[in-house]
Amino acid sequence: MRCGVVLLVAVLSLGTGAAESLSETANDQIQENFDINQFLGTWFALATGCNCSWFNQYKEVMTITKVVLSTSEESNTFIGTFQYDRNGTCIHHVGRYTKKDIAGHFVFNSTGAYAESADIRVIKINYQEYAFLLIHASKGADHSKSVSLYGRTRNLTKETTEEFKEFALRQGIPEDMILFLPEKGKY
């Protein structure tokens, strides 16, 4: 189920618990006045980019992921459910995000065997249309940086997709590691 993990990391936006200093992303600060309530609901993860060593290997099987974000019983956390098609099989994951001090900054710790954690920042959001996420993920000694484009629908404007691509490049993601995901199955 490596692929599922990979997608979870790449698409959801998992980052590292050991957060990089904010100055490293000085050009891309967390969205001002971020409002978690407006962030909740259904999104589609439409594009992703990562400097991960495994990325090329999984490019072919990655597809659009449906993401549903909802509140949890604990006020400092929220829940994400992820559904996507992987090679004809529907994959379903649930994860929990913990809010950090700055609104728009989260930590994701996966459960079970994955031993994966992620530091996630919402860099830019238009709650009705799109969100740009910056993710630092870690698994053991392995660190990666990824970006993710969420859309409220599967169809964003060209301006938005171009802007996302620029954002990814600015974050040092190589162009051939930026992937606009195909739609497959019902997700």
Which residues here bind ligand NAG, judged by CB under 6 A? 17, 51, 53, 61, 87, 98, 107, 109, 117, 143-145, 155, 157
Rg (CA), the chain: 15
Q: Where are the beta strands (DSSP E) in the chain?
A: 41-50, 65-71, 77-86, 89-99, 105-109, 117-126, 130-139, 142-151, 178-180
* Closest separation in Å from C-beta 38 to ligand NAG: 23
Q: What whole-number distance in Å separates Cα of residue 109 and Cα of residue 126?
A: 26
Residues 6+ apart with CB under 8 A from 173: 49, 50, 51, 145, 146, 147
Q: Which is nearer to ligand NAG, 21 or 37 (CB)?
A: 21
* Closest separation in Å from C-beta 125 to ligand NAG: 20
Q: Which is nearer to ligand NAG, 27 or 155 (CB)?
A: 155
Q: Which is nearer to ligand NAG, 48 or 144 (CB)?
A: 144
Q: What whole-number distance in Å separates Cα of residue 28 and Cα of residue 133?
A: 10
Q: What whole-number distance in Å separates Cα of residue 138 and Cα of residue 163?
A: 26
* Closest separation in Å from C-beta 157 to ligand NAG: 6
* Closest separation in Å from C-beta 67 to ligand NAG: 19
Q: Which is nearer to ligand NAG, 33 or 104 (CB)?
A: 104
Pull the structure tokens for residue 148: 């993710």
* Closest separation in Å from C-beta 16 to ligand NAG: 8
Q: Which is nearer to ligand NAG, 45 or 62 (CB)?
A: 62
